[in-house]
Structures are given as structure tokens and as C-alpha cells.
Structure 1
Amino acid sequence: MRSMRRTVNPLRLLLSVICIAVAILGFTTGHLADAKTYHKAYWVPVEHEIEQGLGSFLKRAFAEAESQQADLIVLHINTPGGEIGAADSIGQLIRQSPVHVVAYIDNQAFSAGTYIALNANEIVMTPGSSIGAATPIDLAGNAADVKLISGWSEKMAQAAALNGRNEEVARAMVEIDKEYPGLKGKGTVLSLGAERAKELGYADQVVSGKAELLSYLGVQADSLQTIEPTVGERVARVVTSPVVMSLLLIVGLVGIVVELFAPGFGVAGTISLCAFGLYFFGHYVAGFATWLHIALFVLGILLMIMEIFLPGGIVGAIGFISIVTGLIMAAYDTQQGLASLGIAVLVTVIVMLILIKKYGIKGLFSKFILGEVQRNEAGYVAPKDQRDLLNKNGVALTPLRPAGVVKIDGKRIDAVSAGGFIAAGSQIVVSQVEGTRVVVQEIDQKE
């Protein structure tokens, strides 16, 4: 048998090498194309409770990042939740941003924080962190009404759908009274750990910490820029909280009442001014209050002070309306402003009644209260009792036709003659006193 030797064709070998090289190059190029390449990244903290002040800070942060042509914003989320109204505004800000947004959760993103994370393009979590438990609650800590829960559930579902996440999982994080098989039972709400969130598509990546996150994103740590809230923005975040808003208004109004009971400017007045100053400063920095709102409040205070010297009620009423208008318009939400002011007024009225009961009507506060009762049978109540002038002698300083001025015991007194003309310089005697009306008659010099 003759052995057959297969010869190697150099041309075929060359073609094979070229094909393999092209395949490897194509594979590598494809992976390089898929790799994350961000040229300018910003790190923005989303911490503590979600409120309107945070929304104001994030609006500035996003504007700054966009103006610097950033192509990545990392939101470092660590929050127990907060106002759903503020979260809704922040979610809209994220959706409308042309910059790629990554939500990084290394501890918790509950309630409103979950909604913010779902609006981001990516969600990255660390082991031990959690997301979910997004049922709205009221100030008493109870679940909100069915209407609010239903609307928030739909918003959560729509936010999840933005990046192809399961809408039912989002609803299970909100709705307590509904069972979601495989997710949660009735009477509970869903929250997810990092690994479970990744299984359900609610975390795009799980990393060990910030260093691995930056590696995953392809960002150099020294090139990452951080935007922190200013001192004013930190104050605004505290002040725009509904609870703090109500407390500041209570302190401000109660301080005014206490100051009215205690003559002179003291501690109560100072505390009151500081409370109102913080209220307007926080809302001004947050972008809700304007100089018009502050001017209305100041004008109202001035009109209330004028009421002390110009009694009648009209000036004081206008001042009160001006104060209320300024406070409510400065709030981020009219309804919330009315609620906070209503609570403050109620507490102030209670304090005022306690002070009146204990000390009576005194100080500047008495200037706002009518102390004398005018009865028809009693006639006009004179500011001064002049009955001691009866039967006293004096002299007419001016002619009385019939009214004029007389001098009795060295004092000038407005008087009227009992009848007829009395010339200046004539001797007179007081014959009758009726309230402020002093009646005199001329003394016959011939007697």
C-alpha cells in the first residue's frame, strides 16, 4: 500500500490565519464597543429624608453637571424615604436629564428613595443593602388612603418600566392589601436585598463597594468630581420638612403673643424673629420664597404695629391677611403651607388663652382689645372722670358761643355755656357735668 502524504498549501494557511485574526479582532472590538467609557463623572449624595430642599439641591447639581458636559452622574442613595411629592419631582428631573444616571445603593433606598432609584438608567447595590418598602404613610405612621396608594403604585410601576423592569415587583413594594404570589403575601410590603434585587432585575450589578463600582463604570477615582450641598441648602433641607415648617411657625406666632403680653422687646420677640427668619431663608434658598413673599410678611407686621396706635380693626385685619399670605405663598406647596399654618395658629390660640386666664389682658395685647363697654343708657364713657369739676369756679379763656375753653384750678377745660354768650375773661361756675360735656354759667358780678 502506498502512503499518501498531504501537502500543506501556503495560501490556505495564510487565509486561515487571516480569518482567525479577523474573528479575534471582531470579538475584541465588539467587547470594546460594549465597554463603558465615561469621560466626566459626578458623584451626588442623596441622603437622609427626601424633601423639597433635596429637590432644589439636585436641580442645581444636575444643571452644574450638564453645563460641564458630564456624561455620568452617580447618585449615592441612602435614605429611609420621605415626601412622595418631592420624590416625584426628583424622578422627573432624572428622566429628563441627557446625562447617564446610576443609582448607587450601599445601605438603603426605601419608599421615596426606591422611586428615585427606579428612574435612574442603572441601579447598582452592595451586599447587605436594601430597596423597596414604598408604601406611603401619613404623619401618624399609618398607611395612606387607598386613593394615594393606588396612584403611587402606578407611578412606581411606570418608573420600573422605563428600564424594562417587572412592574408587578414595583407594585408589590407599595400595595399592602394585595397578594403577589412568589413575591409577598397579603398584609406585607416587598423589600429586596442586593442579590434578590439582581435576580428580579431591580439591580443591574452588585459590587463590594465604591472602588468596585468605579471599576465597573470605568471611572478613575481621581477624576470623579463630587457636588455637595452648600450650608444654605442644608438649612433649606431641614426647614422645608413639613414637621420643621410647623414648628417654626408655632415658635414664631407664640413668640409674638408672648411679646405682646410682656411690654418691651425681649427674648420672646428675638426667638420669634429667628424662627420666621429661618422659615423664609430656607424657603428662599430652596427656590420657593421670593422677595414679594417676604415683603408681604414684613408689611403685615408693620400694619399690626400700626393697629396699636390706630385702633379700629381695619389696619390690623389687613396686616393679619398680609402675614398669612406671605407665609403660605412662601411654602413649596399651598396646601402644606395652610396645614402648617393652621396647626401653628391652633397652638398659638391655646397658649394665648392660657396666658389670658393666668395673667389677664395686659401689655400691648390690651391695645387690641376693647376694654370698656358702651351702653346707650350710660352714654359715652369718657376717657377721664370729670365729675369733680361740679360747682367749681373758673374763668372763660375764650368766648363761649356756646362752646369754648375755660380755666379751672389752673387747667384748660373744654366747656359749653348753659345758655347765651359768655365773654372771655368772665367768671364762671360749673353747673353740670355729663361725661365729657362740662356745662358752665356766668357768675353775676352784681351779687
Structure 2
Amino acid sequence: MRPARAPFGRPGLRAGLILLLAGLCLWLAPAGQAQNAEPAPLVVVLELDGAVGPGTAEYLRRGLQSARERSAALAVITMDTPGGLDSSTREIIADILASPVPVSVFVTPAGSRAASAGTYILYASHLAAMTPGSHLGAATPVQMGGANPLAPSEPPKTEGESQAPPRGDAMTAKVTNDAAAYMRSLAALQGRNGAWAELAVREAATLTAQEAFDQQVVEVLARDVADLVAQADGRTVRLNGEPQVLTTAGAVVETLSPDWRARVLAVITNPNIAYILLMVGIYGLFFEFMSPGAVGPGAIGAVSLVVGLFALNMLPVDYAGAALMVLGVGLLIAEALAPGLGIFGVAGALALAIGSMLLIRDAPGYRISPLVVTATVGLSLAFFLVAVRAALRAARGQVTTGAQALTQALGEVRSWAGGQGLVHAQGEDWQARSPAVLAPGQKVRVVAREGLTLIVEPAPEVKTQAD
């Protein structure tokens, strides 16, 4: 009998096929692993540096939207702020709470602060972090106009008893209680220290970074963003009420800068810029009304006024201050049009100065500089004083044109006969008459004019020579 053949032929051929298949598997394995490997997580960094305002809110809204569209693992808001506007702060907090991407607020670098509005934003974050050397707190709402001097005084509080606003200041009590409840609700979202949050509102309490960490106000102490990202990995936060584990190991960190819209909005909502735009707009339109057809002042004034009013609409404007400004400008214009011995000018300058200082209600980081107000009021007053002086000089000066300019003008007789003749005055020949006897070449003075005929008399020096 013939022996049975091996299934794959000779032993050498079988071994070669095995080696070939093994090599092919080794060559294809890295490619398959590379295709199945997940991309590194993305961490988006946003920067909040300065007062919280409409420009800041716009920038952070777009930044969080970009983080959502790119499926970022974490959005980090680095913060250094003295506070800002309540409306913008609430917009930022609403965007953080509605974000499907976890948001970490990081007070950095050393020496930074999360004061006033910054404390509220930090409490709203899913993960709060600070750099050693930074601090937070002083979240008491600003009292517009100060305390009521007629309110009854209360005895001092004992240690540990919360400081409540005076009984007589009901508005302050309402604002403070609302802010305290808001902070407690934010603290409950991530299980932070709600008792200290209320102290920050009622007593303007502050904490250093280490104290905030020890009192469970923040969860992380980090040197920089890289350290924060490393410590955030594996932590559990509550996102829309549900626990979520952060995965940031090996993450790619990318910083998003403000776009042109946010930059422009931040510039024009600066109270000083908005105030200057408003004044340029008012004076530009005034010049256009005084000199119709100039076009330039009117166009610049209209644009400046619209932009200035748009910016003021986003700022906490005191309407009493705005009314005083309008009154002041009106009095200065009245001084220029109908000089009142400077009374209108002085009153207008005082009204403009007081109204300018009251125009923006007191908010951290949002005040009109006294230097800007002084310069604006000084230039306005100087301009209108110059206009008044020019008007007085023109009123007192001798008329050099028109019918009145001929009165008392000197002339010379060209021809004369029968009490009338031709007189040359002011570069022209005029028909003239006079009760005096005149001769050609004689100097005369114009006394009056009747239509196109001058009434003349001999010039004084002629009379003297005749005598």
C-alpha cells in the first residue's frame, strides 16, 4: 500500500506557510491597533481676566459652545476678576449649568482673585480649583446709594451670628437675601460649603486658596492648567444632576481666544469708552445743526451716539445721572446760543459733571474714571466759553458789511452841484446829497442812507480847516 500524504504536502512547505502567515499577522496587527485607538481627549481653556461684562459673557458663551461642538472632555475657565455686572454674571452661570461639557473654574495664577461675581461663577462650576496664593470671596451685593442714614441702628451681632442688613433698608435686605439663596443653591449642586457661601454674601467673607480647599469650597489645588488636568482625571462631578467621571489623562489642551465680536463688545461696553462715544455723538449732532451741510460732524455724531446708547443699554445706567447730563449739555448749548453772563455755562458744567459721575451705578470694575469726566467737562466748558467770547466780541465790534457799515464811513466827493452829486465811499461811487456846500475832492462822512442815496456832511477835519 502507498503511504497517506500529509494534508499540506511536505513538512518543509507546511512550516514555510506557517511562518508566512505569522509574519503577515505581525505586520497587520499595528495597523489594526492604530485604526481602533481612540483619539486623545480635548480640554478647552477659556480666559476670564478683568471685570465681568457683556463682552466676557459673549466670549464664554461661544467658548462653551465650541467645546460642546468638539466633544471636549473638560472646559477650563481661568479666572482673575474683581467682579462685575450682575446680569452678565447670571448669563455666564446659566451657560455653565446648561453646558453638556463639564466646566472647571480655575483661579490662577498666584495673586489672582475671584471676588464678588467671580465667587458666584466659581460656585456654579462642576469642578472648582485654585492656585496657591490666590483668594476668593467678598460677594456682598453692592448697595446702590449707600445705607439709609434715617434707618434705625441695631445692636452689634455676637460672634457666629450672621450680619443682617438694617431693618430700615428693605431693598438692601431683599437683594442680600436673594443673593444668599442663590449662592446656597449653587453650592448644593456640587456639594460645596453652603454655609461659607452665605457668609461671603452677608459678611463679605474671603478665603485663601488653602483655606478654601480645607473648608470644601474648592476641590483642587493646582499649580497650573496641566496640573489641574492631571488631577481632574478620574474625578466624579455632577452634570445636570447626574454623576459623570472625568477622563482627562493625556488630554490635548487648547486655549480659545476671544473673537472679534467679543473684543469689540468688551471695548465699547467699557464705561469710559461708552461715555466718550455718547459725548462725541451729542456734540457732533450739535455742530451739524449749527452748520447744516457739514456732513462730517453729523455722520460721526450719529454713529457715535448709536454705539454709545447701545453700550449704555448693556450697563447699569442711573437715569437721574443721564437726565443731569442732558440738562448740562442743554445749558452749555444755551450759553453758546444766548450768552447769559456765564450763568448757563457754569450751571451746565456742574450738571454735566455730577450727571457723569452718577451715570453708571456702582459695580466692581465698571466705573467712569474721574479723570475722563474732568477732561470731558473741562473741554466742553472751554469750548462754550470760547464760543461766548467770540459772540460778545462780534456783538461789540464795528459792523463792516451791509448798510450799517456805511454809517460814519469816510468818502470823497467826485462831483457836486445843487446840493447833490457823486461820492466815492467804501470802494464804490454813490449818489449823495447834503445841506452843506461841497466841492469835488472834498472829504465827507456818511451820516445815513436812504435807499441808494447817501446823506453826507463835511468830514470833521474839513470843518476845522474851514473854521
Q: TM-score, normalised by structure 1?
A: 0.52
Return the offset for 1:69. 1.3
Contact 1:104 1:124 in 2 (8 A): yes
Cα deviation code 1:232-267 (max 9, x no counterpart): 311202323456444432331233124323455277
Counterpart in 2 of 1:208? Answer: 223
CA distance 1:224–1:168, shift in 2 (3 Å): same
Counterpart in 1 of 2:257? Answer: 228
Return the offset for 1:137. 1.9
- 1:64 pairs with one of 60, 66, 71: 66
Counterpart in 1 of 2:123? Answer: 118
Distance 1:276 1:154 in 2: 39
Return the offset for 1:77. 1.0
- 1:164 pairs with one of 191, 205, 218: 191
Distance 2:126 2:320 in 1: 36
Cα deviation code 1:83-123 (max 9, x no counterpart): 01110111111011111110000111110111111100111
In the TM superposition, 1:166-315 aligns within 5 A as: 166-176=193-203, 189-218=204-233, 219=248, 223-241=252-270, 244-262=273-291, 264-265=293-294, 268-269=297-298, 271-276=300-305, 278-279=307-308
Counterpart in 2 of 1:50? Answer: 52
Distance 2:272 2:185 in 1: 30
Distance 1:199 1:55 in 2: 30
Return the offset for 1:279. 3.6
Q: Percent of counterpart pairs with the same letter?
A: 27
CA distance 1:153–1:355, shift in 2 (3 Å): farther
CA distance 1:348–1:224, shift in 2 (3 Å): same
Return the offset for 1:167. 1.8
CA distance 1:247–1:39, shift in 2 (3 Å): same
Q: Which amino acid aligns with 1:108?
A: R
Q: Which amino acid aligns with 1:248?
A: L
Q: Which amino acid aligns with 1:156?
A: M
Counterpart in 1 of 2:137? Answer: 132
Contact 1:82 1:112 in 2 (8 A): yes
Instruction: Check if 1:76 corresponds to 2:78.
Output: yes
Instruction: Check if 1:109 corresponds to 2:117.
Output: no
Counterpart in 1 of 2:327? Answer: 346
Return the offset for 1:272. 2.0
Contact 1:245 1:340 in 2 (8 A): no
SS of aligned partner of 1:174: helix
SS of aligned partner of 1:70: coil
Structure 1: 5+ residue runs without aligned partners?
1-36, 177-188, 284-327, 361-447
Q: Which amino acid aligns with 2:182?
A: K
Q: Which amino acid aligns with 1:153?
A: A
Distance 1:269 1:210 in 2: 50
In the TM superposition, 1:397-412 aligns within 5 A as: none
Distance 1:340 1:222 in 2: 51
Cα deviation code 1:111-143 (max 9, x no counterpart): 011111110011110111011111122577889
Distance 2:267 2:119 in 1: 21
CA distance 1:342–1:159, shift in 2 (3 Å): farther
CA distance 1:210–1:216, shift in 2 (3 Å): same
Distance 1:268 1:255 in 2: 5
Structure 2: 5+ residue runs without aligned partners?
1-38, 148-164, 166-170, 234-247, 342-467
Q: TM-score, normalised by structure 2?
A: 0.50
In the TM superposition, 1:332-371 aligns within 5 A as: 332=314, 336=317, 342=323, 344-358=325-339
Flag the structure with more relative contact order, 1 or 2, with Cα contacts below 8 A and sequence separation at least 6: 2
Distance 1:108 1:221 in 2: 29
Distance 1:220 1:343 in 2: 59
Cα deviation code 1:182-216 (max 9, x no counterpart): xxxxxxx2111000000111111111223322322
Q: Which amino acid aligns with 2:200?
A: M
CA distance 1:338–1:235, shift in 2 (3 Å): farther
Contact 1:38 1:72 in 2 (8 A): no
Contact 2:126 2:190 in 1 (8 A): yes
Distance 1:39 1:156 in 2: 32
Q: Which amino acid aligns with 1:204?
A: E
Contact 1:52 1:86 in 2 (8 A): yes
Distance 2:175 2:299 in 1: 41
Distance 1:359 1:343 in 2: 20
Distance 1:332 1:221 in 2: 41
Counterpart in 2 of 1:408? Answer: none
Return the offset for 1:357. 3.9
